[in-house]
Amino acid sequence: MSGPRSDRSGGAAPPRTILFVEDLHDLRETSVGALRAHGYVVEGASDGGQAVRQASKKKFDVVIMDLEMPNIDGIEAIRRIRANGSQKRPHVIVLSGLLDARTRQLAFEAGCDQYMIKPVELDDLHAAVRTYFTKRDGHE
């Protein structure tokens, strides 16, 4: 992990926040821990409903979303998060074991920015997140 980041004016940059949404407890906790180890501020959610509630209360830079979950599935959760106009638009990365073109299309129509197929190596997930922030911030 690198030291404290600074913004272009030399001040401390705001934390990079991530919401990791996954109903499988062990996968969620492992992924949250790995992302935190890279310096991100990460919260976990166990289903789409919880994700929508958390995203309505706090602004996240990135939302990493599973699709197959109880209560509200990932596609509907993305739609609801996107419909919340009170916060800036988070970058949404879908993690899914669903390979079919129709599911992928539905995810992008709902507002997904990136679609990754499970199982995903933690290094590949971190690379996707890091690439987003590098492009957003214009430096690294």
> In this structure, is residue 118 part of a structural domain?
yes
Which residues in 15-110 belong to E strands, given as ranges?
17-21, 41-45, 62-66, 91-96
pTM: 0.89
CB 36, CB 44: distance < 8 Å = no
DSSP state of 38: T
**4: in domain:** no
Can you give the pLDDT at residue 7?
A: 53
The per-residue pLDDT for 87 is 57
State the CATH number of the domain containing residue 39: 3.40.50.2300
Q: Is the dihedral of CA 58, 63, 66, 72 positive or negative?
A: positive
Which comes out higher in pLDDT, residue 88 or 57?
A: 57
Residue 10 within any structural domain of the chain: no
* Bond prior to 119 in cis (omega within 30° of 0): yes
Domain membership flag for residue 82: yes
Q: What's residue 138's pLDDT?
A: 86
3-state secondary structure of 96: strand
pLDDT, tens digit, for every residue of 58-86? 999 999 999 999 999 999 999 999 998 65
Distance from chain centroid for Cα 90: 8
**What three-state secondary structure class fits 6?**
strand
Number of compact structural domains in the chain: 1
Which contiguous run of DSSP H or E holds residue 117?
Answer: strand 114-117
Q: Using one digit for the tens of pLDDT, what is the confidence trace for 91-137?
A: 999 999 999 999 999 999 999 999 999 999 999 999 999 999 999 99
Average pLDDT over residues 28-55: 97
